[in-house]
Amino acid sequence: MELARLARAGDESAFEEIMRRYSPRVFRFASRFFNQRSLVEEAAQEVFLKAFTELGSFEGRGSMEGWLTRITTHTCLNLLRSAKRRPELTVSDLTENETTWLDSNMGEAAAERHKSSERSLVAADLAGRVLQTLSPDDQLVLTLIDGEDNSVKEVVEMTGWSESKVKVQAFRARRRMREAVEKLLGHKPSAAART
Amino acid sequence: MNDKHILDLIENTTFNSLSESELNTIRLHTAECSSCQKAFAAASISSLLLKERTAEVFEPSPFFHTRVLAHLRERQAANETWAWHCIWRATAALASSMVATVAALAVLTFVIPDGPLSPDFAETSARNAYSAEEVILNPGDFDEQASDGSVLTTLYDAAEDGTK
């Protein structure tokens, strides 16, 4: 609160201290929405520039962390909205690695988390590409609830949406994500046919 | 339950929070329903993809704070420039309007000729045989010509006009 007061009065070092304290969290949060470092940095930078402008509206009733999280959520959502939504992802758009990943994670094997970092990167990239075919609101709710295990109430606090909106959005987003993945699995040629 | 599809079950909650009984229901149903089996596989892969996606975290680069502060200063400087620009524009508008007003007054005073006089004013002027400008600019010329009689005539005529 003291830091916020000083920063509001124009103390640049106080604002720098705020950035030092909270930038790891802002980066972690923005990383859930963008899979490229440059986009995450852009989002984080926008968050802090907005935070500086809106310091006057921070009354210190809640935590600064929560306040910054809300700004981060809205900033990321706006950036997702401004980004061009990708058309439907088809199996022909998949890389060889992504197809292999899908092959090896079909059925019951999906329950087991694989440990290879390279395979994780492939999965993260594929997830990003599938998510980009969904609306920003779908991406947000799926990432926060299904990816991060946040509760509906936590998402309500982060987004400012109503509880029912979060629930309905999550339900529909899961359906759309499942359908997008199912399409990839359904139209995927067998491994023997590809080789 | 086997005739009831399990889509609502897998879409109502996160994949990881499905209870053991719900999973049993799903297994029983998917053993017989191929479309739900595909949907369940897709849902499990979706869940896995989302987990992998959120596992990837970027840390701020060492120069991040410096860069943000630089952007902040740039933005503030731009705002100040904009404020000065606004003040300058307002001043310029005020000055030009003042110049225009002065020019308009000058034109009205010196360039545009006098319009037709009202009959009363023309009559009075003819009787006096001198104009107001002449009286003001050359007061000495009229001191001798204005007799007491003409002053009294002018005054009484004006009073009579007023009473009418």
In the block, tokens 């090896």 appear at A104
Cα separation of the two ends of chain B: 112
pLDDT category at B30 given cuts 50, 70, 90 is confident
B45/A102 CB distance under 8 A = yes
From CA A164, how far away is CA A53, in angstroms rounded? 32
From CA A105, how far away is CA B48, in angstroms rounded? 9
Look up residue B72 and give its two tokens: 């902040």
Of chain B residues 31-60, which have a CB less than 8 A from chain A?
A: 38-39, 41-60
pLDDT category at B115 given cuts 50, 70, 90 is low
Please report the ipTM that was assigned to this predicted complex. Answer: 0.74
Predicted local confidence at residue B125, as pLDDT: 59
pLDDT category at B124 given cuts 50, 70, 90 is low
pLDDT category at B1 given cuts 50, 70, 90 is very low
- Residue pLDDT, tens place only, A49-93: 999 988 888 877 778 888 999 999 999 989 888 876 666 676 677
Mean pLDDT of the A153-157 span: 92
In the block, tokens 């009418």 appear at B164
pLDDT higher than 70, residue A44: yes
CB atoms within 10 A of CB A50: 16
In the block, tokens 């369940």 appear at B40
Top pLDDT among A134 and B131 is at A134
Residues from chain B that touch A45, judged by Cβ atoms under 8 A, are 64, 67-68, 71
CA distance B101 to chain A (A): 42
Across all residues in chain B, what is the average pLDDT? 79
CA atoms within 13 A on the CB side of A102: 25
Site from B50, B57, B75, B76 to mutate, A interface, most A CB atoms within 10 angstroms: B50
Q: What sign does the dihedral A136-A98-A39-A155 (CA atoms) show?
A: positive
For every residue of A154-190, DSSP letters joined together read: HHHHHH---HHHHHHHHHHHHHHHHHHHHHHHHTPPP
pLDDT category at A97 given cuts 50, 70, 90 is confident
Predicted local confidence at residue A103, as pLDDT: 72
Residues from chain B that touch A52, judged by Cβ atoms under 8 A, are 72
Predicted local confidence at residue A177, as pLDDT: 92
Residues from chain B that touch A171, judged by Cβ atoms under 8 A, are 11-12
- pTM for the full model? 0.63
DSSP letter for A56, please.
G
Residues from chain B that touch A149, judged by Cβ atoms under 8 A, are 14, 16
Site from A119, A174, A175 to mutate, B interface, most B CB atoms within 10 angstroms: A174
